[in-house]
Amino acid sequence: MTQSLPAFAQNARFDVCALGNAIVDVLAPCDAAFLEAKGLIPGSMQLVDEAQSATLYDAMAAGVEASGGSAGNTVAGVGSFGGRAAYIGKVAKDTLGEVFSHDIRAVGVHFDTPVLEDGAGKGFGTGRCLINVTPDGQRTMCTFLGAANQLTTADVDAGVIGDSAIVYLEGYLFDPAPARAAFEAAAAAAHAAGRKVAITLSDSFVVHRWRAELLAFIESSADIVLANEAELHALFETEDFDHAAAHLGRIVEVAAVTRGAAGSVLFRGGERVEVAAYPVEKVVDTTGAGDQYAAGVLLGLSRGLSLAEAGALGSLAASEVIAHWGPRPMVGLKDLAAQHGLSL
């Protein structure tokens, strides 16, 4: 049974507001030889400039384009669950920017960040992520941030932040300093309004680049942290999962760590809950798995569900998205949850 709303979610207009890199994903199949030939580390995310992005795009197999961006995928998932979501991210005034804006609003997400008027043609067109997917479903990403990289404190709508039960910050945005300042502003506005701040570590390479800064931000400003196993190990520089996970659980209110097919582990206070992964007949594309897991967990927490219930929603959403191409749900997650006896 759904419990009463927690204090931080009382009178909230939105369940989740996310800040992230507004990105259009280009997904295509490849083999290991292609990655090796292009000097790409399997399973990694690396930043590329506009010229590198164009060269790789020309070499990729035919694929599909879909609005993405980690936090954008998460709020799309929140909307699919029937939740109320908002998004803050920067696109340029160009075709891909129009695609992104249309797609995120079409799933019921509030999005009104001002567009970058003169970005296109100056190296700041709408961001894109070139995702090469190997037959085992693993994705290797090369991201041209473009306009997404231009998010600043001026784009942080304190009214929207204050109206959101949970403000969710995408770790990828830790790379550009202006966006990191926007993080600080959003976190401050959220806490001033009595709301919670969540962050996803996003990628182990991001953690390696900014480990000290991320830890400092988590300890000072984050209430909820989501990570996968590799990111957790990078954050605490240890291969001891139980030790690292318990440590994370001690420094934040809620920690949720995914372990792929092994499911996930969630912590709150002295409570530790293990949640199994939902079985999938065939893993097609893991793009968006962590993003959709976050959607279920964050919405569950905002609605006052238990750790086990929130984790189950996350696992269910992740199982839906890895069974098809693309980073966003293709069926209504609210109906899927009901079919599995999960209530919101």
Q: Is the pTM of this model over 0.85?
A: yes
For residue 236, with 0-12 CB atoms within 10 Å meaning exposed, 13-18 middle and 19 or more buried, which class applies? middle
pLDDT tens digits for range 14-46: 999 999 999 998 889 999 999 999 999 999 888
Residue 266 has pLDDT above 90, yes or no: yes
Q: For the residues 243-264, what does the mean pLDDT come to?
A: 95
Share of the chain above pLDDT 90, in %: 79
pLDDT tens digits for range 178-216: 888 999 999 999 999 999 999 999 989 899 999 999 999
Task: Confirm if 63 and 27 have CB atoms less than 8 A apart.
Answer: yes
pLDDT of residue 1: 38
Of 16, 23, 24, give the one whose Cα is nearest residue 226: 16
What is the set of domains in the chain, with CATH numbers? 14-340 (3.40.1190.20)
Token pair, residue 291, equals: 């993003």
pLDDT of residue 63: 85
Q: For the residues 255-274, what does the mean pLDDT come to?
A: 95
Residue 2 has pLDDT above 60, yes or no: no
The pLDDT confidence band at residue 133, using thresholds 50, 70 and 90, is very high
| Range in 1-10, 153-162, 198-207 with the lowest mean pLDDT | 1-10
- Tell me how many helices (H) and strands (E) the chain has: 12, 14
The pLDDT confidence band at residue 344, using thresholds 50, 70 and 90, is confident
The pLDDT confidence band at residue 81, using thresholds 50, 70 and 90, is very high
pLDDT of residue 235: 96
pLDDT of residue 3: 60
Torsion angle (degrees, nearest 10) of CA 224, 230, 232, 233: 180
